[in-house]
Chains A and B, each alone.
Chain A
Amino acid sequence: MNEAAMNDPDDRAYKNEDITVYWRPGKCIHATTCYRELIDVFNPRKRPWVNMEGAPTEKIIEIVKKCPTDALTFRYNDEEKQKQEEEIEKAERERRKAKIQEQTEQKSEPEQEPANIQVMKQGPLVVSGSFAVFDSNGNQLRNMAMTSFCRCGNSQSMPFCDGTHRKIGFNK
């Protein structure tokens, strides 16, 4: 992920001396991980909502990596360091790929984990794992690896969360 992927006019970049954090609102599923874990940096009630001075760089990186989608990503400002990071990520990807291949060769059944449904306090239902979504006419919606369903009743993109719960002060 890099600047070239910032192609939506709503996308933003936030910089400190070490890294640049990229924010792509179109990819956000409102899992709320960022501001639950690091409100001093990610505060949706403030503008700008990302404060790069709110925590040490390592902490910001840790939380950005926890974002379940590509809504939050980062890049080191130093090109050498960024290259190293990409190498690490590449090795990690290859290790995962090798593991899957190994399982396939052993003809072991791919482990299908039941879906995880997390009820976020004053927020949506965050769903991950193997699942299928059907609308009220019984039509299956496109496959997703992760999504979030509205719980406050006021989303403009039903049945999914669009962040409206915050505006209306949903408190369940």
Chain B
Amino acid sequence: MAKSDKATEFHVLENGPLMVKGNFKLSDSEGKEIKHPGADIFLCRCGATNNSPFCDGSHKKVSFHG
């Protein structure tokens, strides 16, 4: 397991996705690793994405509030 200088950061973006910064491991319900594009990722919070678990901008279309 790689050592990180600091804790992973989760930023809740208003009416938008969850931004994740730093070192982290992303996996599915069964523990299988999910490939992700890079250091910072955006995870869907609105439930409407067509690229689950990642944000695809759908929150704007559905006027997500949260």
List residues of A whose CB falls within 8 A of some B CB: 32, 36, 109, 111-121, 123, 125, 127, 129-136, 138, 149-155, 158-159, 170, 172
Q: Which of B2, B14, B24, B44 contacts A151 (CB 8 A)?
A: B44
Number of interface residues of B (CB under 8 A): 38
A sample of 23 cross-chain residue pairs with beta-carbon separation below 8 angstroms, ordered by A number, consists of A111-B1, A114-B23, A114-B25, A115-B25, A117-B25, A125-B18, A125-B43, A131-B9, A133-B10, A133-B12, A134-B11, A134-B12, A149-B43, A149-B45, A150-B45, A151-B43, A151-B44, A151-B52, A153-B62, A158-B45, A159-B45, A159-B66, A172-B49
- For A159, the chain B residues whose CB sits under 8 A away are 12, 18, 45, 66
- For A36, the chain B residues whose CB sits under 8 A away are 29
Q: Provided the pairs A112-B4, A117-B20, A117-B24 are in contact, do residues A153 and B48 lie with their beta carbons within 8 angstroms?
A: yes
Q: Provided the pairs A111-B1, A118-B27 are in contact, do residues A131 and B18 lie with their beta carbons within 8 angstroms?
A: no
Q: Is A152 a contact of B47 with CB atoms below 8 Å?
A: yes
The answer for the CA separation of A117 and B9 in the assembled complex, in Å, is 12
